[in-house]
Amino acid sequence: MRNFRFPMATEGRCSTGRPTATLSSAEIEETLKRIDTHEGVIGTIVVNAEGTPIRTTLDNSTAVQYAGLLRQLTMQARSSVRDIDPQNDLTCLRIRSKKHEIMVAPENEFLLIVIQNIP
């Protein structure tokens, strides 16, 4: 996996707009493993610009479903944020349902998706 800019997350939150860092593949894997160990995390998905999951802890069909739907939703949310303020950008999309919370952190040509249970 080539290097990409990965949002610096805070525990339980999406990126706070703090500076991002360029991480190596090993650092990316370490970060994803750390996220997966948090209580309640069901899975993580890294999605490329085409909407294809390139790294996931979920089964493939579930990852493809989440990736496709959340990529579209994230693109629409990003467009809405920019329509309101052209100098602003989407840093985090958080969706909470009765069963799960989904956090999406868009960064350049990738999306990081984290799905967790509601406590």
Which of the residue ranges 27-31, 42-46, 92-96 would you say has the lowest mean pLDDT? 27-31
Q: Check: CB of residue 100 under 8 Å from CB of residue 116.
A: yes
Write the pLDDT tens digit of every residue in 88-111.
999 999 999 999 999 999 988 899
- Is pLDDT of 15 > 60? no
Backbone angles phi, psi at 99, to 5 degrees: -100, -40
CATH code linked to domain 1-8+42-119: 3.30.450.30
Rounded Cα–Cα distance for residues 31 and 26 (Å): 9
Rounded mean pLDDT, 56-67:
96
